[in-house]
Amino acid sequence: MFMSATTIAPIKERAIEFWFDFASTYSYLSAMRIEDVANASGLQVIWKPFLLGPIFASQGWTSSPFNLYPAKGRYMARDMERITQARGLAFRMPDPFPQHSVAAARLALVGLEHAWGPTLCKAIFQAEFADGLTISEPATLHHCLDMIGARQSNEIAAASTDAIKSRLRALTQDAQINGIFGAPTIRTADGELFWGDDRLEQAVAWAQQL
């Protein structure tokens, strides 16, 4: 019952896939602007939540590279400050970082069965990176559903079904099979990957030429 067309069908032309992890700072940047950028070019956005954790683990990483490599982590925090300030976005580094994003990703998959899925995803990103809430806590996810006016109990229950758990695992496997190793990654209809919020415009331009 959760087998949505957007997940099962092959990627459509005139659309880009947006692969993201709710724990990822740069995914926040893209989530807040990707629909505007894509729609302005006549492209739809297919939201693809997945988990970086298993992909990092398969590379031997026990945490985010921003924790494993402190100079890189310090740079990322400053880079995020500069970019969010320039874009007028609120930002605070989650503490602890990274957040556990599995519950949020499962709930997002429920939401993405509905037209309000992208709105829910943005509400979760804002709760985490603008409001400093802990997205692994059920109260935060209830708050996000409440913010967008969705029925809380039904959606939270649906997020714990085996079907949704399997779907998130499958998406994470799909990501890895498709060569995705970081987030955000934009994937175009011809399978090209564009890694990082700073590649969004390039990805959209590429997709327009297909």
Chain residues that interact with a copy of itself, rule: CB under 8 A: 59, 68-69, 71-72, 74-75, 78-79, 82, 176, 179-182, 192-193, 195-196, 198-199, 202, 206
Nearest to a copy of itself of 133, 207 (CB atom): 207
Taking the C-alpha atoms of residue 142 and residue 203, their distance in angstroms, rounded to an integer, is 34
Shortest distance in whole angstroms from residue 139 CB to a copy of itself: 36
Nearest to a copy of itself of 78, 114 (CB atom): 78
Nearest to a copy of itself of 97, 206 (CB atom): 206
Say what angle helices 102-111 and 117-129 make with each other, to 10 degrees: 150
Shortest distance in whole angstroms from residue 1 CB to a copy of itself: 33
Buried b (16+ CB within 10 A) or exposed e, 152-187: eeebbebbeeeebeebbeebbebbeeeebebbbbbb
Shortest distance in whole angstroms from residue 171 CB to a copy of itself: 16
Cα angle for residues 7, 94, 199 (degrees, 5° grid): 50
Shortest distance in whole angstroms from residue 86 CB to a copy of itself: 8
Nearest to a copy of itself of 21, 128 (CB atom): 21
Nearest to a copy of itself of 160, 202 (CB atom): 202
Taking the C-alpha atoms of residue 11 and residue 1, their distance in angstroms, rounded to an integer, is 20
Taking the C-alpha atoms of residue 168 and residue 146, their distance in angstroms, rounded to an integer, is 23
Query: 189: burial class by Cβ within 10 Å (0-12, 13-18, 19+)?
Result: middle
Shortest distance in whole angstroms from residue 156 CB to a copy of itself: 34
